[in-house]
Structure 1
């Protein structure tokens, strides 16, 4: 048996043979010394907290064919930080001498494990395994399950290794009746002769010897890219297409059985040393995917491309005008803004979920995405300026906005979270102004997805004169029609707005963007909850079959593209995880994750603690006042307790979590304190504290200093253009009183509550509503403009103030009949 981990090591590091034997002993031991009594001891220890429900789950494992209650219990203990020292103490308390003896180191110990290696065909292979024991040990090597002939020494040597020798090897070490297996070692044999290369292996050096080759394929054919590097142990691989990592492409050979045209691009592989973390890159391989040529000629004879060449002619002579040209983007970038925490207007809910879902989908389409929540006016303008820096000729630019908004004279306005009540164009961002600036960049495609209200703002009589260029590359997807509201669905949890609910089901389709939006509109039209109240409107000047799935082929100006990529990476740079060693002997892991481009998650975990420390916990504190962090929502035991709902499933378990939002407000480098609290059995559980100051610089979007005042080249300069008399005249709401639905949710106070008529919503998710209007009550929407020119209304002008509409359906009729007074929210 190999040497055990030390007492401070986690019990999850127990090797399988030892763990299996220990579980067998605990499973069959009598009640006072078995797994159930062990669970009772652990359950009474606040450090590991095994509950009665978890003990019941362990006991049910006996119903499985090879189930083990002990294995399940030990796994739970290990996940909560139980060490070998803790387990030995528990077994000593139980008096289980067999289990204790099982955990004592044996005289048979493997000192040197064989290492995986990548080497060139024709070179010599040596794998080594060394063990000590009394009497002397014996060795036997295996390749997978088969014994390697004549391999009974501690070194396995194969002269002139060939491709057939590649595979997995393991060594069995015998000492009388005891035996132990080494760890597996992989041997990767690189055949470089076909690439015209030769190289001598140098221990410890990472060297690429196989480069991926450029290829030209037809749709439906198989793509195989191969690279290879020497290394001991075998290096790790990550394939990239157009500088973007390909998910799950982590093998030396990257294969696509049936290529499509959107697989066109430049491929390269990042190779990482498993020991020194050295990184090297292969050359780029250009993969061109051409459509298959097949034409129906007279007499119903189908001619393929090979048939044309057999006739001595090029198929292009026949099909020059019939084959659609493959369209490309030189880059794809997206700015996603979700405003929900308004200072002077109803609070919203769905924008956070909408932005999160669209971010993940756009990443799959190879977009560079900046996703931001809750921006003030200056922050929005500066974010747009940074977005514009990523644009250049041929780029696909996409802007998604969810929040309050309005539309006047054909111009759409996005409302920042600090906009006054009432707001006007000077307080908001004009979408058409942003489009004008995008056109100046000669972008290949401009897509605007606006998830906001388009009601007219009666407080804003300005008519910006924004002169746009005539281009055939503009697409607007409005979540609702002109002079109408957009909605979000009411739910006890987090959910999407109506627009994104259907958009996210279609966004990855390989369709022209206008066709994709048409299908979203059809889906929305079948949703009874909003039928007749919200309909997607599409405006487009697109004359080509541009799609969000189009491949990316960087422009010839490689330096410019790299500069823009660095700008994007600058806004998404996470601090590296770190281990902190404290004087008491404890070690803490400090990790980071990004929920949005301006939302950072910090988590702490106990990696190691002294044997005599009965309790240990690490918390983060003392954050910059710019971030306005609520201490009550920091250092929580579950992500959800601190507001991390969307990222919680991908975070490590059994940590303390803290969520830092609004990083764009951070003016200085982020410095905070990690406070370690511990108690020792010899000190009557009096807590002792240690602290470390941590500086992680400016993480994520904080590096762009969006908090600064509006910059010289921002979209504000475009918004402030002279008024034009050529715009459509003001269109005021009709005199009739209309009943509308509300887009977003905001908080209620103690007042009379309103809700929607039951026949609108019975079989569906409820829609949140609000009340406002001109003399009579109606249920308003996102971006609703309220008749209160003097600012926030008092109870005397209550009928022009929005108020919550709840799911209490039966109250609506009573409110209208009794003309109850409405209280300002």
Structure 2
């Protein structure tokens, strides 16, 4: 690169090699169009006929540089414009500035809070992390979790859930900028001991204040809890079955021994269309602690939709073998229709319920009817007030569970 370039150099008077490299960089991805302004009084504004004429040029960026030079624009003016646009377009504005020899600027934190944490608008279950660092060239960002890079999280913003699992994790943001090797401007920046790279790592980000009240859990945690249930079932398949009772003529009393103890706890709190409930997750956690003290293998799930509730009920039945002590607990919205309890998933509509929107306890019992544990305790913490208007639909739905054959199996 020539040393004749000055900040005061008019854009129409750029040295040939700089003009050539700069116009080539501005042509890539039509960056030159991003330089233009829509405001008619701005020096970077083009009328529609001017824009069309320049677009037809074989080298539109070269034509634009001459045009801006005729308007009195200098290297300093263009650098100022590119620097401002880098806040919007990031790395796209690096190459033109490097060609114009903008000085390397090592990274600094641009705010006292290195990472700003805030709730996501219109979604109270998500939080946004924004890393505030600046320098030139434009920074690269890499979010880190527990000391390792988070795959695909390489912008200055990270969106995560407000689940307890996020609050427990150790998040940081690694930031660096560098003049890459092998470019037309690389030799100028990477010679004579000049600094061409810098790096910062943020402090650990404390997410504890942003943890969702009520122990809401994210989809990943739900899947982990379901996997835990599957693990319990796999262990039970491999374990020898113990006798539920042990009777000996030499004993005066019969000793009861459970083959296994399992508990499924579902708490629905954050409904999409119905009013949210305050205490279900707390109630579920309290019960879970109690049954775990009694040596129950416990799976606690929260805020399930209908498909998830049906799936987990079918999976849970695999644990209900002979001699098993089983507890099923549901807390959330529900109602009673024609003497039958219905449980509402979090995706239930706000009104005009029909049987396909709910989880019928008759359906639950029908799923479990071929599995007879020694103890099957079901606790339903729901309102029994009848809410639907279409009673006929619920009456017809319940008839399938009222046949003599089904009731004999149920008994």
- Does TM, scored on the shorter chain, surpass 0.5? no
Q: TM-score, normalised by structure 2?
A: 0.36
Q: Between Structure 1 and Structure 2, which shows a larger proportion of helix residues? A: 2
